[in-house]
Chain A
Amino acid sequence: MSGVSTTRVEKRSDGLLRRSMARPEAPALIFLLALVIVLSVVADGFLGTSNFEGILAQVVVIGIIALAVNQVVLSGEIDISTGSMLGLCAMAAGTVAVAGGGLFFTLLAGVVVGAISGAVNGFLVTVARIPAIIVTLGMLYALRGVLLLVTGGDWVTGLPAETRVLGIGSAFGVSLPIIILFALFIVMELVNRHSDWGRNVLAVGGNRRASVLAGLPVGWARFWAFVLVGVAVGIASVIYIGRAGSVQTNAGTGLELQVIAAVVIGGTSISGGRGSTLAALTGAVLIGVILNGMVLLGIPGVWQDAVLGALILLAVSTDVLRRKLLGDKA
């Protein structure tokens, strides 16, 4: 919660507590704090800077993409093509890196490929008016197909060290990917709350018809959200290849649903209009903490999917319940 809104809220008639509870990310945040406290007590090795850094490093890729997909979900649409998109961006960036393009062109390659893919999604949804779930499902397969056709199934290996900085570098004693994640979080928070476009996205997701009648650019608002996802995937892909040092053709498989899970668990309403940037970040971190805690507690890996699934269902039911309790006024 940003400082601006906190001070403003205190002056209002309703209590700060009630206000805070009405925030979309509140349940996930409370759950996250409770989990951190419990794990600190019961799990050896949980409490500690290096473990925390490990958890965050784990969720950077999901987190960055979730920040952008969050905007798509807020606008009332959905994007499930990010897994294959990451694979394709990583392959483009990796190829440029191996060819000696340097960090800048590596990043540019990833971002451009991502932005183009996102623009295709956005075009098909807003201009061709095909439902986003269908468009992005199609793209999930199509992009992976392009990746396999172009590479013929070959890996890209031997990335030069200078192009891996975003994945393995560090600054001020903090690893660079984590800095990038938080920097992008702050940017998205500002854009979401204070920009013209951020406001349009929320309005369109909140009530499409009313937005049309208010003269808002309903199509563009959603189009740019899809492009933003592409850009975010492009940035994330360079972090991804930096960490891995090589690119496989199955890179990013299954990522798309983890991203959606992070957004929804964090508290952004899947039907659009309600949610926050912090929700997406909280969701991503929560997933990281749970997976980490399971490892530390010696819970077998086969439980992972069951726990994540239960968490998604829990998050959605909490949201429904809370709306009822608040009289749907939040």
Chain B
Amino acid sequence: MEKQDTETAHDAANRTPGDAMSRSEETHSGREGTWIFRLSSVTKRFGGVVAVREVDFDLLEGEVHALVGENGAGKSTLMKMVDGVHTPDEGSLEVGREAVSFSSPREAEAAGIAMIPQELDLFPELSVAENLFVGRKRPRTRWGGIDWETMREEARRSLGSMGVGLDVNAPVKQLSTANQQIVAIARALLGEARAVIMDEPTASLTEREAEKLFEIIADLTAGGVGVVYISHRLEEVFRVADRITVMRDGSHVKTAPASDLDSDELVRLMVGREMKEQLFSRSRREAGDVALEACGLTRRGEFENVYLIVRRGEVVGLAGLIGAGRTELAQTVFGLRKVDAGEIRINGEGVKGLSPQRAMEKGVFYVPEERKSQGLISPFSISGNITLSILDRICRMGFVKRGRERETAEKFAGSLSIRGAGMDDPVSMLSGGNQQKVVLAKSLAREPSILLLDEPTRGVDVGAKSEIYRLINDLAEEGKAVLLISSELEEILSMSDRVLVMREGRMSGEFERDEATQEKVMAAAAGVKAGQAPGNEAEVREERE
């Protein structure tokens, strides 16, 4: 199916009208110009997992080539192969007609390719000028010292050429995110980059700041520089891109001029065809009373005015792209983050000043997405991890009752079929899937009535996945309220009674089980449907996950 799709993509590209067609051999998609770099049929594996499979990609001089796809489609991995962070396992990279193999970003930079990663790699304590010259030959005085005057002068010139006047002596940490972004771009250009790769450059910018970035991009391309623009925000993509490449599950889906695509088409390409089949055939059930309610919940810079209802016996899926504010929302409901405005009601009762302890007393439990860093105490045994959440219940006079502990641990280990090691073995001996089951067992031991599951099946093998799905289903049947955060659309669609979609800190869609489709959810997540014009957006800053 993948293969077939890729071919369709080429066909589509060749069907592009006019003069482009005759030169379509020149580039992978049929647009005229000289390319700066070209990836041919590259594949990258991590262990047994294929992150990128036989992908073609090229960048022309003076164009903006957008790269889009769902979370985990392989966009960043593909570009890291151009930037020298990864080397392709198969396929080739050519820069300026020469086959090259970069072993570090430094080599890529020498060849005129610069990547501006999502997490800016600036040095917060150093000044703007110093940042621009990091890893570069700094001007020297006659005495061998650093020639600060020349350095500042060059820094000023390079920022000036981008039309910005920043204080080059100011430490970078004092700058706004937008200005830091500009410093990162200036740094790339100082190395005379001919290709600049931007990974989610607007993720933490306000609308106005993004405008500034678009102007800079326009200036760059006018000067012949090529820009690869990775973004989830489709309206931006249509605004800046000359060509668009869609990736899905590590494969190339389509490359076409932006003018040949519209947002519906793009969403369809991103999510793929109809869902193969339900991952899990879930039982039918009736939802009960409202268990968890959020009214106009706001945390500045993270999410705004969120309304949310989860009933007993109901699984509510919370979809959205990375950085949409889903984890922040769940953690706020669990009392890990302070509420700025709005109210949380648990079982109809308003709660104020929530802490994790109080949330747990109220029957709420949050299962974190990162099991290694947030879920497990790795020196502890399996049973020690499971009973962590109920120590206060199995203690008498401050001492843990061994019998009760064993009993509880075995009960939950049994019901979740945790396999691979004894109860007293260190939890790190288990496979990823079984470790995840330990994290779930820990939360279930507390017998919560409201469960907030954050990516419960990430990095888990297929077998453990279906066991976790069965567990979620059983929990809902028992009358527990479940909020399921997941970046896998198929998981959301097959498990949820209702699907909520978040985008840039706001609820951007709600669908009943019957009406939810991949396309609708993705469109709401990427913000390409009615009423989502860029002008309407408030200046929402996103917290990166």
Name A residues whose Cβ lies closer than 8 Å to a Cβ of B.
Answer: 8-9, 12-14, 190, 194-197, 199-200, 202-203, 206-207, 209-217, 273-274, 328-330
Contact = CB atoms under 8 A, between A and B. Distances in A.
A214 B398 CA distance: 18
B234 interface: no
Contact of B399 (A12, A196, A202, A330): A196
Given A195-B400, A197-B398, A214 B425 contact: no
B406 to A, nearest CB: 10
Q: Considering the complex of A and B, which 10 residue pairs feature the smallest CB-CB distances, nearest first?
A: A206-B377, A196-B395, A215-B360, A215-B356, A214-B388, A207-B377, A214-B389, A206-B379, A215-B357, A274-B379
B238 interface: no
Contacts of A207: 373-374, 376-378
Contact of A329 (B392, B422, B426): B426
Contacts of B357: 215, 217
B375 A196 contact: no
A196 B393 CA distance: 10
A330 B400 contact: no
Contact of A211 (B360, B377, B424, B428): B377
Contacts of B356: 212-215
Interface in B339-392: 356-357, 359-360, 366, 368, 373-380, 384, 388-389, 391-392
20 contacts: A8-B424, A9-B424, A12-B422, A190-B399, A195-B399, A196-B398, A199-B400, A202-B379, A203-B380, A206-B377, A206-B380, A207-B373, A207-B376, A210-B375, A211-B377, A211-B388, A212-B356, A213-B368, A216-B388, A329-B426
A196 B391 CA distance: 6
A203 B374 contact: no
Chain B: interface size category: 20 to 34
A210 B375 CA distance: 5
Contacts of B366: 213
A209 B331 CA distance: 13
A164 to B, nearest CB: 34
A137 to B, nearest CB: 23
Tell me if B's interface is mostly helix, strand, loop or mixed.
mixed
Contacts of B336: 212-213
A196 B377 contact: no
B232 interface: no
B424 A12 contact: yes
Given A202-B380, A203-B377, A210-B376, A216 B391 contact: yes
Nearest to B384: A199
Contacts of A194: 399-400, 402
B326 interface: no
Contact of A210 (B359, B360, B373): B373
Contacts of B395: 195-196
Interface string B428-454: 110000000000001000100000000
Contacts of B368: 210, 213
Contacts of A330: 379, 426
A13 B379 contact: no
Contacts of A212: 336, 356
A213 B399 contact: no
B425 A12 contact: yes
Nearest to A190: B399
A273 B426 CA distance: 13
A200 B374 contact: no
Nearest to A326: B426
A13 B425 CA distance: 9
A172 to B, nearest CB: 28
B71 to A, nearest CB: 23
Nearest to B392: A196
Nearest to A9: B424
B391 A200 contact: yes
Interface string B22-53: 00000000000000000000000000000000
A206 B378 contact: yes
Contacts of B424: 8-9, 12
Nearest to B358: A215
Given A12-B422, A194-B400, A203 B429 contact: no
